[in-house]
Amino acid sequence: MRNFIIAIFVFIFIGCSSKSEMVIIQKPQIDEKSTMLFTEVMRIPLDCSECNGKGRGVFINGAFYKSDVAVKCCLNKNLIDTDVAFKKVYLHRIVDFRDSPKAIYYTKKNGQQVVFNSTSRPEVLFYMFLEQELKSRGIVVVDTQTSPYTYKLDFFIKNIRGDYDRSSEILSGKLSGELKISNINKNKTLQINTSQEVTKLFANKQQDFDFFISLLAKQAANKVAEIITKF
């Protein structure tokens, strides 16, 4: 009987511990491929458009990329909030919440369609880009909610889809996500959507679309950072 009671106690304790571990969110492990893609995107020339406006587009390796937001806007146009230096943000949870890794719908010259999974990690890229964007605006990024006035941020990537036509060499796509941000005074849930179109893009394998997905993550991070700046 005594052993039975101990067994029940151990079972309950392990169960509680497991439940607690499920809600502990740690900084994502930044892998080598994400670092390489992050560096590649950050080499893009500055587009001195307003950060909340459409980018002018940029040529990269012979292809023309046009997005609904400037991929890299000028730093002096980021710092639009005089109180921005007093803001602290805790990046609590950033999750790839998609139902499937399917991302690129590729139509061959003969009309046959194949579907490629995303091979990059969009949640890690988003984290890296958002951290960089926030710091560029003078916002402090912290590892925990240091005070009730610190903003706690959650972001869930809901969908990534790109459609590529080999005959026209045009790739268009979008990323959709949900932003949750809160502190003692505010609690908001917002839908974040960003799009990209690429022309004159030659692509014939899965890895050729990693840069495109990285740009979508960067654009989403830009939009979120802009929202926080004005929060």
**pLDDT tier at 165 (50, 70, 90 boundaries)?**
very high
Residue 214 has pLDDT above 80, yes or no: yes
More confident residue, 79 or 24: 79
**pLDDT tier at 16 (50, 70, 90 boundaries)?**
very low
Of 3-17, 158-172, 185-199, minimum mean pLDDT range: 3-17
pTM for this one? 0.82
Report d(CA 77, CA 110) in Å as an integer. 46
**pLDDT tier at 174 (50, 70, 90 boundaries)?**
very high
Residue 103 has pLDDT above 70, yes or no: yes
In this predicted structure, what is the pLDDT of residue 75? Answer: 54
Residue whose entry in the numeric block shows the structure tokens 């439940």: 19
CATH number of 28-230: 3.30.160.150
Q: Is the dihedral of CA 36, 38, 42, 47 positive or negative?
A: positive
DSSP 184: S
Helix, strand or coil, per DSSP, at residue 91: strand
Q: Is the dihedral of CA 13, 16, 21, 24 positive or negative?
A: negative
In this predicted structure, what is the pLDDT of residue 216? Answer: 95
Which element (helix H / strand E) includes 111? none
The answer to whether the CB of 48 falls within 8 A of the CB of 77 is: yes
In this predicted structure, what is the pLDDT of residue 164? Answer: 95
Cβ-based neighbours of 154, under 8 Å, separated by 6 or more: 92, 93, 94, 95, 179, 180, 181
**pLDDT tier at 59 (50, 70, 90 boundaries)?**
confident
Where in the chain are the domains?
Answer: 28-230
More confident residue, 222 or 17: 222
Residue 49 has pLDDT above 90, yes or no: no
177-213 pLDDT tens trace: 999 999 999 999 999 999 999 999 999 888 899 999 9
In this predicted structure, what is the pLDDT of residue 138? Answer: 87
In this predicted structure, what is the pLDDT of residue 88? Answer: 92
More confident residue, 211 or 11: 211
In this predicted structure, what is the pLDDT of residue 51? Answer: 60
